Amino acid sequence: MENLEEKFVSREEIFDGIVLKVVKDTVELPNGKLATRELCLHHGAVAILPVLDDGRILMERQYRYAHGRVFFEIPAGKLDSPDEDPLEAAKRELREETGAVAEKITYLGRIDPSPALINEQIHLYLAEGLSFGDRELDDDEFLTVEAHPLSELVDMVMSGEIKDSKTQIAILKYEHILNNNK
């Protein structure tokens, strides 16, 4: 198999913000030549597919400034640090955004949503056996929570109505799990 690895040579920090850091790396290509890679470094995130006892899925509508529109997505949030346990972050985000606490949480895997530009890894979880208390939204967080049947959400993914990748993947993984457990 051909060597495809690029080797780190040096780094220049461009920006160091609250959520991400932007860097410009020089790398050595497999052919020995040098190239520049600009990328964003991110602590990572979690996303949770909360399933109600009747099978409906809790979804959120939230304005996403980078795209200038409201997205329809599952609850999610960033890790507070690179060392934070993703499971604990998932429990926190589920409670803060929906008021739910899950009796059972199952790991659905990890996705790398934009590997050419950002090192963010999103850990996906399935939350079941939900009980509810008060939501604890961050001061800068505004969202609405809705419940929808899985079949409707799958149709919305397949038609392109749900555009958020973490939501698409979690919904389709959950549908696959249900179909293989019949």
**Token pair recorded at residue 139:** 């001061």
Task: Give me the mean pLDDT over the 57-63 stretch.
Answer: 97
Is the predicted pLDDT of residue 77 greater than 90, yes or no?
Answer: yes
Is the predicted pLDDT of residue 182 greater than 90, yes or no?
Answer: no
Q: How many domains does the chain have?
A: 2
Q: Is residue 1 part of a domain?
A: no
Per-residue pLDDT of 101-152, as tens digits, reads 999 999 999 999 999 999 999 999 999 999 999 998 888 889 999 999 999 9
| pLDDT score for 141 | 85
| pLDDT score for 180 | 92
Mark whether 56 and 121 lie in a shared domain: yes
Cβ proximity of 107 and 123 under 8 Å = yes
Mark whether 32 and 49 lie in a shared domain: no
Mean pLDDT taken over the chain: 95
Beta strands in 34-167 (DSSP E): 34-42, 45-50, 57-64, 69-73, 76-78, 100-111, 122-132, 143-148
Mark whether 123 and 164 lie in a shared domain: yes
Expressed as residue numbers, the domain containing 172 is 44-180
| pLDDT score for 138 | 82
Mark whether 56 and 116 lie in a shared domain: yes
| pLDDT score for 108 | 97
Q: Is residue 2 part of a domain?
A: no
Positive/negative CA dihedral, 21, 65, 89, 121? negative
Q: Is residue 108 part of a domain?
A: yes
Cβ proximity of 125 and 90 under 8 Å = yes
Percent helix, percent strand, percent coil in the chain, to nearest 5:
20, 45, 35
Mark whether 26 and 83 lie in a shared domain: no
| pLDDT score for 173 | 97
Mark whether 19 and 83 lie in a shared domain: no
DSSP 70-86: EEEE--EEE-SSTTS-H
Which positions are catalytic?
Answer: 141
Give the span between the Cα atoms of 107 and 127, in whole angstroms.
9
| pLDDT score for 129 | 98
Task: Give me the mean pLDDT over the 59-88 stretch.
Answer: 95
